[in-house]
Amino acid sequence: MERRKNLYLLTGSNLGNREDFLLEAYFAIATRVGSVVKVSALYQTQPWGISNQPDFLNQALLVKSNLSPFTVLDTIKQIEKTMGRTEILRWGERIIDIDILFYGNLILESPTLTIPHPRLHERNFVLAPLAEIAPNFKHPVFGKTVAMLLSESPDALKAVKL
């Protein structure tokens, strides 16, 4: 049997009842992806990329999973679709967004999936909740901890812990 991997995910929502959507995503992840071991607080963040939309709520999760990275990707895309996500505009408003941040220390680049998430080190809305649950986790490409990446982040947008 394959060893369960530490999988770090980020959930986000900026439409409707954001807290309920994040909770629904949490339960779907726990049911379909693996055991949720740690969960950050909720963080309210200004939208990144397109500013004229509602603020996001974001949350980081540590999940122990036996699924392959590509199966995780397929599963979270199915969860998003089931919850009503439609891809209208990149960086636009959404009911739910689930991103793979890290999959153990795996470094993977493919046409459909890049791990670690290629821009996580530039975004406070990712780094702040992730630093809460994994401050000492080392980015396998940069060799810096999540806490270090947050302290060095070039992002001017604040992530406010609720």
* Model pLDDT for residues 60-83, shown as the tens digit of each residue: 999 999 999 999 999 999 999 999
Mean residue pLDDT across the chain: 93
Long-range pairs, 80-89, Cβ under 8 A, ≥24: 82/28, 83/21, 83/24, 83/25, 83/28, 89/50
Smallest CA-to-CA distance from 153 within 132, 131, 123 is with: 123
Q: What's the sign of the alpha-carbon dihedral 21, 130, 8, 50?
A: positive
Catalytic residue among 18, 94, 123, 155: 94
Residue 48 sits in which domain range?
5-161
Check whether 147 has a pLDDT greater than 70.
yes
- Give the CATH number for residue 128: 3.30.70.560
As a whole number, mean pLDDT of residues 10-26 equals: 96
Using CA atoms, how far apart are residues 106 and 140, in angstroms rounded to an integer?
Answer: 7
Number of domains in the chain: 1
Region 30-59: mean pLDDT is 92
Q: Which of 30, 35, 54, 55 is nearest to 43 (CA)?
A: 55
Encoding tokens for residue 87?
A: 């891809």
The number of angstroms, rounded, from the C-alpha of 115 to the middle of its chain's C-alpha atoms is 12
Active site residue 99: yes
Residue among 18, 97, 123, 155 flagged as catalytic = 97
- pLDDT band at residue 88 using 50, 70 and 90 as cut-offs: low
- pLDDT category of residue 94 using cuts at 50, 70 and 90: confident
Q: Give the number of other Cβ atoms within 10 Å of residue 126's Cβ.
A: 29
Catalytic residue among 4, 32, 74, 99: 99
